[in-house]
Structure 1
């Protein structure tokens, strides 16, 4: 496989045969040149909705592969609902294997959540399952498979729920923007290669002559952890094409506007493995909604949208010109690209890929700790040991740095001094020279619904072993028959997620929203997915108000399937009924 050529990857031109072939596979909202979501645009809505899961050829960049789709399109059709209605989805599976749909971010009875083996058995081949639930919220959400690795093959689509009351966000036009990643290699094969060689897709390894050379001490340290400082993403542009609304960079999806309009962009990251840095050069964005919940408007020039997060932004283009919408992968090995323009056929300059970021001691949870003269970590000063085979043991011999973490082969390291990183913009975005969104910028528009202080704190460690490609919570993979995280009904709990790995993990809790602890007491942002940076921690408060068994997992698909998954069990308080 050849390395990525930055100069040719994003070369654009008129939409060719491949692009034209794509149009028939696109739902109306995702077709290039769309004027925005309107009542005249076909979409799935109403109280009774039929969805068919099937296999469909998918073409991008002049190549055709096999996709798993809903109603034959990639992405799946936009589902538009209204807060306060009831909805029934009759979902028919035409595949030869089981399938499912999870309604990501929706609050519903646990047996409608769509996670096989947790909330229901799954949908057998050539069978129909009916999901039915009341719609009790508004905002931007999405839906996808929770069976196998089907989501990576195209099994995802957007949901927009209009509020019952007047929307506090004013806008003249809206576009749904679905970011995703696509590979012609089957995800099972990708997973197999990661298990054989975790850096298989990393074409950006450091060398002694790559920028500032690494010292011998630094090489020993990184070699001891079986990682390189350029290991930002497990799967990269070496195999992925990054899509916007199912269109590759060369196919240039275009959303139209009239100069002076307030345009709402409902952005969803439906990628399997790709965290995106989003910006529109020359056009500021005002964030108004995160994970479906309204926030006080905050102006930014760039934001990092992790896998499974959603952000709504308002842009107000005043000039009669085109703007490029950029979704650059976190490791900068590729980008998704689209255009906002007054007329079809217009294009703007596509910025080049920026220099890829590298991991630092801060990402190891070692910020401010002692270094030796040649830049290597002073392990003696830190109380660490290098074992005979070169692997680093970060205070793991007695587990003193991480109570409750099982010191298994799946735990490669423990962050000695993790920091609260809710004020960080994301890897590689600390010095870009413009405004970048952080979690501390987010303030809930409405007061938090449960003002009670937490009655207890639960600390959960995100653990892994990159060399073995094992991922887990507290050192235990889900396949090891782990105990679920148990909560009493209506219990108020503070959860602290500590990332002991050097990868970024988007953690998703089904069936609940939680409030990120970011200093805005009473108006902490409510989310269902939170990005936990390496070597850092995030705290959130949540009320266990939905009885049942709920999935809790990293939304990087390969990490979830490699073990970073568990169940949150909410049961009635003693003496209460179900």
Structure 2
């Protein structure tokens, strides 16, 4: 069928969705924590511990199905549900007790569930081809392990594109000791991106034309404005540079609201998911980015946010007004609304083509104003890995072309240059390199550089407890994040997964992992099975992350204690980048060539 037909179908579906205020046809598939009025009656089970509830071992079944979505007019796109819901049900576990999680595949295709950020035997990790073969149609798989941590996490399929069409869900692990974070109410805020397109078609369009979903390109009007501001010479150099690199300075996201609808706890923005409070209460919001390709900027206009945890790991409280959350990251924040009024939970997509939205209110039915989408950000020389006096304009072009165009201006707040790139350009699998590599941990997220309020940065994160492993690293691994947008190829070191070799972390050693982003976009990089300690200048109190957003043109350094034996997935958490080759296996072993210890 033609693209015009598919686009017309999508517009019809979105129109139906807008008419109901819900993701059309999914109202009956909402989990309990997302249903209207649930905020009035239900807290997380952990809150009951104060009233005498007891920690316990948990056995839970997950039934994976393909279900049609009923749309007026007969259209029935397919979704993947977990226990008949999208997103899946909330999984609550208790630190120090056993988890017994049974996954039943009721589909006619293989499936899996990965328990994201959880410390467990690698055979239980849920990655087909790495940890186990996958769950065949009609079969079941049991992940059974002692729970060794607490905090906010999530789960999702690690098979094909199943995550994109519904197979995700939140996970909360309650601490063995009394929770040091004091709160009166506790809510999950799960963010997803949803498309009515078949995900394989989305990838096919990206391979055919990498900017297929990006309609925010520079226009003749922009050209006139740039010439008026910077003159013809500088403007033409700017255009020639971007053209030589086959890049669009407004290429902030590969997939946009042209096909995506952004959801909060499974609900379209017009449905207005609502969390209730009484003025003066402390409300804990567990924000989970369970989307496939979308970064969000999260804020609550009129309320400061106190960040108390990231990726399930407690940090010293940081008061801020907004934070950027990469795909697969989690942040816990505490807010204290004192007025008898409603507040908007605003999760604006980083490219600012759309948003997810909910409400924090004293009573159901209340709503606050929804902020206008802000102007789309643009890529800069910093994102290119350049300085003002250098620019490589693409294959065959001469370096050191001077460029002063506004669209590639260096922000005063740009982090310091900490390294220079070597001669390796990483082959045909890579289009650009970061000639200069910056420490960007102290920078605000893309598009938040100039907002007038406070914005969280990675450099502010400080673990509440000192590191237990204070050894100097004995093993260093440097990995470059690489890509070629023209052919939509993504990789590490210019080598796709199918041609790659295992990365070895010697068992028991302290490892320094260095990542250099040679591409011109952020990548959320996830290491399974172990936490990474981000070297952000916080001494012995480095924050622990299971997913790190590596900014364009940046160099990040992380410390890892390689004490979890086995084969672990290491990949970009952009689903379509992962599928196109940005994936490796990390092997933790003291036996060369072995798959486990």
Q: State the TM-score, normalizing by the size of structure 2.
A: 0.87
- Please tell me whether residue 449 in structure 1 is matched to residue 453 in structure 2: no
Q: SS where residue 194 of structure 1 aligns?
A: helix
CA change 1:468–1:371 in 2 (3 A) is closer
Q: SS where residue 409 of structure 1 aligns?
A: helix
Q: Deviations over 1:482-537 (max 9, x none)?
A: 11110111111111110000111000000000110000011000010000011112
The partner residue of 1:314 within 323, 328, 334 is 334
Distance 2:370 2:65 in 1: 35
- 2:246 aligns with 226
Distance 1:56 1:83 in 2: 34
Offset of residue 96 of structure 1: 0.9
- 2:317 aligns with 297
Is the 8 Å Cα contact of residues 140 and 159 (structure 1) preserved in structure 2?
Answer: yes
Distance 2:524 2:585 in 1: 16
CA change 1:412–1:401 in 2 (3 A) is farther
Q: How does 1:551-566 map to 2 (within 5 A)?
A: 551-566=569-584
CA change 1:569–1:39 in 2 (3 A) is closer
- 2:454 aligns with 435
Distance 1:59 1:244 in 2: 21
Offset of residue 16 of structure 1: 3.6
- 1:548 aligns with 566
Distance 1:353 1:59 in 2: 31
Is the 8 Å Cα contact of residues 95 and 176 (structure 2) preserved in structure 1?
Answer: yes
- 1:397 aligns with none
Q: Deviations over 1:353-406 (max 9, x none)?
A: 00000001010011343479xx99xx756399xxxxxxxxxxxxxxx9655957
Q: SS where residue 24 of structure 1 aligns?
A: helix
Offset of residue 216 of structure 1: 1.4
- 2:194 aligns with 182
Distance 2:261 2:246 in 1: 27
Unaligned stretches of 5+ residues in structure 2:
9-13, 49-55, 228-234, 403-418
Q: Deviations over 1:234-291 (max 9, x none)?
A: 0001100000000011111111111110000001000000000000111110000000
CA change 1:467–1:456 in 2 (3 A) is same
- 1:487 aligns with 505
The partner residue of 1:343 within 356, 363, 371 is 363
- 1:390 aligns with none
Q: State the TM-score, normalizing by the size of structure 1.
A: 0.90
Q: Over the residues paired in the alignment, what is the CA RMSD in angstroms?
A: 2.9
Moved more, 318-327 or 455-464: 455-464
Offset of residue 431 of structure 1: 0.6
Is the 8 Å Cα contact of residues 19 and 60 (structure 1) preserved in structure 2?
Answer: no
- 2:58 aligns with 47
Is the 8 Å Cα contact of residues 404 and 474 (structure 1) preserved in structure 2?
Answer: no
Moved more, 226-235 or 213-222: 213-222
Offset of residue 213 of structure 1: 2.7
Distance 1:131 1:553 in 2: 22
CA change 1:17–1:207 in 2 (3 A) is closer
Is the 8 Å Cα contact of residues 180 and 269 (structure 1) preserved in structure 2?
Answer: yes
Q: Deviations over 1:81-108 (max 9, x none)?
A: 1001111112110111100000000000
Is the 8 Å Cα contact of residues 45 and 92 (structure 2) preserved in structure 1?
Answer: no
Is the 8 Å Cα contact of residues 421 and 437 (structure 2) preserved in structure 1?
Answer: no
CA change 1:41–1:381 in 2 (3 A) is closer
